[in-house]
Structure 1
Amino acid sequence: MRFELRVPPLLLFVVIALAMWLGGGEGRGSGVLLILATALLLAGALLGGGALLHFAHQRTTVNPIRLQQSRVLVTQGVYRISRNPMYLGLLCWLMALACYLGGIAVWLGPLLLFGWLTRFQILPEERALRARFGVAYLQYCRRVRRWC
């Protein structure tokens, strides 16, 4: 497809977050929503940071556009929880922003990120990883869910 592996996920995240911020919400979240936003921020940082550390430790690329540079199939740490913890971290951060901004319309941002990443990033990545790592990747997919 035309958009597969073309838009860097971090760029997409920034554009959607900016649109959510500029579009505003019905007001600022309060009470339970702010506590939830804080928890989501922390979860996103732990997932994304943990994933980056594992990639650095394995000395493999984190570039989601150049999958052919992948040296190792990373399956440890946060990769036991999710096959896509970096993307899950970004999703957590957008959900935190939606909680902070308040309102229903801002939840279109996390939904858009989820749908776009699944269709145009994750599915093509899975095809490439299956081709590169074969049975090991298929076994990993049986043990660990795509998102969480």
Structure 2
Amino acid sequence: MFLKIPPPIFVVIALLAIYGCKLFLPLWQFKTLWIIVIPLIIIMMTIGFSSVLALSKADTTISPFTPEKTTRLVTRGIYQYSRNPMYLSLLLLLIVAVFISGELSSFFVVITFVLVINHYQIKPEEKALMHLFGDEYRNYYLHVRRWL
């Protein structure tokens, strides 16, 4: 079962929830640690752009809704380190938002994001890719981590 909400929309909802935690569920506030935030933003952007570029170069779909339209299994570049670098970059965006919000309770949103994306998006994608690419994907699955 795929997530009915596109992952970027789910991220927007998560960003709003992070802001909501700061307003309505303040547990423990901390100062924004820009020394952490700035490098995370650079890493997030590098991973995000690298993943889209790798899929574009391979002339395959980037749509999370149509893994069956994938024409080629991309295993090079950023994909040799993570099977899901686009979702990893979205996760880093949420972590950056938590550090900027300065509210510890916001980490619950990040944990929820990982659980939901894993269950409703990544696992169905993996199943579709296993069906499409068979042993080639199985070997990739066994050697490259889901997130990092």
Per the TM superposition, whether the score is higher than 0.5 is yes
Offset of residue 6 of structure 1: 2.0
In structure 2, the residue matched to 1:56 is: 56
* SS of residue in 1 equivalent to 2:36: helix
In structure 2, the residue matched to 1:144 is: 144
CA RMSD of aligned residues (A): 1.5
In structure 2, the residue matched to 1:9 is: 7
CA contact (8 A) 1:5 1:64 kept: no
The residue identity in structure 2 corresponding to 1:97 is A
Identity of aligned residues (%): 32
* SS of residue in 2 equivalent to 1:113: helix
In structure 1, the residue matched to 2:31 is: 29
The TM-score, its normalising length taken from structure 2, stands at 0.90
CA contact (8 A) 1:28 1:100 kept: no
Offset of residue 19 of structure 1: 2.0
In structure 2, the residue matched to 1:40 is: 40
In structure 2, the residue matched to 1:82 is: 82
In structure 2, the residue matched to 1:114 is: 114
In structure 1, the residue matched to 2:72 is: 72
CA contact (8 A) 1:67 1:125 kept: yes
The residue identity in structure 2 corresponding to 1:16 is A
* SS of residue in 2 equivalent to 1:59: coil
CA contact (8 A) 1:5 1:124 kept: no
Offset of residue 68 of structure 1: 1.6
Once the two structures are superposed, what CA deviation does each residue of 1:12-59 show, in whole Å capped at 9, x if it has no partner? Answer: 0011112212432665633xx221122221111111110000111111
Unaligned runs of 5+ in 2: none
* SS of residue in 2 equivalent to 1:90: helix
CA contact (8 A) 1:55 1:74 kept: yes
Question: How many residues align structurally?
Answer: 144
Once the two structures are superposed, what CA deviation does each residue of 1:101-129 show, in whole Å capped at 9, x if it has no partner? Answer: 11211111211111111010000000000
Q: Distance in 2 between matches of 1:131 and 1:41?
A: 35
